[in-house]
Structure 1
Amino acid sequence: MAKGEETRQFIIEKAAPIFNTKGIAATAMSDIMEATKLSKGSMYVHFENKEVLACAAVDHNMKILGTKLQSVIGKSKTAKEGLMAYIEFFNNPLNPPVVGGCPLLNFGTEADDTNPIVKEKVNKGIKFSQQLVSDLITKGISNGEFKPEWNADEFGTVLFAMMEGGHLMSRMSGNNSQMKVIIKALHATIEQNSL
């Protein structure tokens, strides 16, 4: 990796948790300069403005999330174990897998009316997550783990919405009691559709 690319990556890695914690609008370039110990001139050599850096930070946060999630699911021996691993991965919103919380929720809430580029990145992340769940169910149906009539796409949507909703509720209340209720309901649905 060339020196310039190393510096650019360093800036993204330092900026990503700040943007995910404070939000795009509330993060100033001075916050990033403080974290990186780089001058404003150095920052603008690598990123023409804050929006370009924010987009790179969104990509970085979502890549971390996706890589960690796929790693956990990849250790599962069965589709059912994979679904349970997905749920377990997100079971503690107060100690999230990415610093600052779920980047899909954080950036999606902020960007839905203000930033079409970030909105599209988040939408792709949502579709990826839903497809991951749907694919696990489809695999489980093929393997004889799940009932053939279980609608994989519908459950992918339901699971994603419930987990994100639980994440929001837990972060707002400061405890995971709501997430525990959601996880119990999701486990029950998986059991109802298991053979």
Structure 2
Amino acid sequence: MKKAERTKQFIIEKSAPIFNTKGIAGTSMNDIMEATQLAKGGVYRHFASKEALSLEVFNYLSNLMHDGVTAVVREIPTAKGKLYGLLDFYDNRILSKWGGCAILNFGAEADDTNPVMKEKVRAAIHRFKSRISKIIIDGQESGEFSKDFDAGNYAIKVFTMYEGAVLISKIENNPEYLHNIIAMLKKEIDLYIL
């Protein structure tokens, strides 16, 4: 990686927790300059605007979550185990490591104001749901899950319940909301084991 690429990645990594907690509108260039210890020109040399940086930050955070789940799921041989591992990953890491869910944080801010970010968030939602659906379908094909297990509906349920629980857990400063939802989602998986 060349020096310019390393600097750009450094700016993204240092800016990620700021954008994910303060939002796009709430993050100032001064916040970014303070976190990176770079002058404004040093940041603008790599990003044309704060909005351009926010798009790269979302990509970075989304890929971190995706890659983390992939690493967990790859090591588990059963479909039930993969779903449990995925849910445990979200339960144990999202509130503590990243300051919440980037999909929720960026999506809430961009839904009516930033069509480019909205499209990136939409794609991340699709990727999230598709992974869950694929695990279920693979489990049905291997004879682990009943054909009655509706992969698409369950994926929507996981996504919406998870996002709501993250929001409430953060507002209430109580992770039990998320823990309880994850436990409920796991119980539902067990209903479809053959």
1:89 aligned to 2:75? Answer: no
Q: Residue 137 of structure 2 aligns to a residue in which SS?
A: helix
Matched with 2:32 is: 32
The 1:5–1:180 alpha-carbon spacing in structure 2 relative to 1, beyond 3 Å, is closer
1:139 equivalent in alignment to 2:138: yes
CA distance in 2, matches of 1:127, 1:135: 12
Percent of aligned pairs with the same amino acid: 42
Please report how far the alpha carbon of residue 41 of structure 1 lies from its aligned counterpart in structure 2 after TM superposition. Answer: 1.2
| Mapping 1:95-106, distance limit 5 Å | 95-97=95-97, 99-106=98-105
- Give the TM-score taking structure 1 as reference length: 0.94
Counterpart of 1:26, as a letter, is G
C-alpha separation in 1, matches of 2:91 and 2:12: 27
2-structure distance, mates of 1:94, 1:77: 24
Deviations 1:49-107 (A, max 9, x none): 1111111111111111111111111111111100001111112477434x221100110
User: What is the rounded CA distance, in whole Å, between the counterparts of 2:184 and 2:117 in structure 1?
Assistant: 31
Distance in structure 2 (CA, Å) of the matches to 1:187 and 1:3: 46
Q: CA deviation at 1:141?
A: 0.3
> 1:93 touches 1:171 (CA, 8 Å); kept in 2?
no
Q: CA 1:93–1:109 in structure 2 vs 1: closer, same or farther (change >3 Å)?
A: farther
Give the corresponding residue for 2:18: 18
Match of 1:9 in 2: 9
SS at match of 1:181: helix
Residues in 1 aligned to 2:74 and 2:156: alpha-carbon distance in whole angstroms: 21
How many pairs were matched up? 194
Change (3 A) 1:94 1:85: closer
Counterparts of 2:110 and 2:80, CA distance in 1 = 34
Aligned-residue Cα RMSD (Å) equals: 1.4
Deviation track 1:99-128 (CA, whole Å, cap 9, x = no partner) reads: 221100110111111111111111111110
Higher helix share: 2
Q: CA deviation at 1:143?
A: 1.0
Q: TM-score, normalised by structure 2?
A: 0.95
Q: Where in structure 1 are there 5+ consecutive unaligned residues? A: none
Q: Which runs of 5+ in 2 are unaligned?
A: none
Question: Counterparts of 2:188 and 2:87 in 1: how far apart (Å)?
Answer: 12
